[in-house]
Structure 1
Amino acid sequence: MTTANHQIIVCTLCKATDGLSRPGQQLVDRLQAELGDHLAYEVRGVGCMAGCERPCTVAFRAPDKAQYLFGDIDPDIDFTDLVDFARIYRDLTDGWSKASQRPQGLYDKTLARIPAHL
């Protein structure tokens, strides 16, 4: 299975809990450095993912896999859990995981799991 089509998308407009900073682009840069070469993920930022009530939002997607949207992501606290989930997600054939299979820090931060096919 190739992982070249795996993507992580990060909202770059979400404000941090301080209400001032926008940590999304820094998170994009860190994830690109960590995952780009090692796990062949495309990591990019987008202007808004409508998760404004639970910033910072991060999505995982790949062809023919369930997609995930996480919210309330603190780039400093949740970085390792995002990297761990990237490894888990890459290895799941259909992308489907139970909450208990996701890293502990993401357990209550799942905003959506969208099936690949209905």
Structure 2
Amino acid sequence: MDHRITICTSCRHKGTECRPGFELIEKLRHAIAKAGDFVPDDFEISGVACMAGCDRPCTVAYHGTRKATYLFGDIDPETDVEDLVTFARQYAYLHDGWCSSVDRPGKLRASTLARVPAAMIVTEESKVRAS
């Protein structure tokens, strides 16, 4: 799979023991499966113990091979799944994963915590002449 969505499972709503990450994983898996061809690429959806977004739960990251990575915070499993599915579709078609905030759907315009450029390692081939 070339695309992944990672969801923090440790984040808690402030002042509660509620950890919305597990609920969000299930809802997002179901919604992407239901979307069918709307999301053209298979996305691996998994949880991780911590993504250091504790002040803005629930945090969600989109990763792709040779693409920018996005980290979103303040995601609500009750209201934001549609925006996450729409962004999955958009992200699948972005060649380098790069898009401006105004191009992201709904709440994701204002809840971006980070956009990390793809790591590109370039090596130069040695051009040695044989004598």
Q: Same fold (TM over 0.5)?
A: yes
Larger Rg: 2
Aligned-pair identity in percent equals: 48
**Number of residue pairs matched?**
115
Structure 1 residues 24 and 114, CA gap change in structure 2 (3 angstroms):
same
Q: Over the residues paired in the alignment, what is the CA RMSD in angstroms?
A: 1.5
- Verify: 1:116 aligned to 2:98, yes or no: no
CA contact (8 A) 1:15 1:22 kept: yes
Cα distance in 2, alignment partners of residues 31 and 17 from structure 1: 22
TM-score, with length taken from structure 1: 0.90
Q: Which runs of 4+ in 1 moved over 3 A?
A: 36-39
Cα distance in 1, alignment partners of residues 32 and 12 from structure 2: 24
- Verify: 1:12 aligned to 2:14, yes or no: no
Partner residue in 2 for 1:54: 56
Structure 1 residues 9 and 36, CA gap change in structure 2 (3 angstroms):
farther
Structure 1 residues 43 and 36, CA gap change in structure 2 (3 angstroms):
farther
Any unmatched runs of 5+ in structure 1? none
TM-score, with length taken from structure 2: 0.81
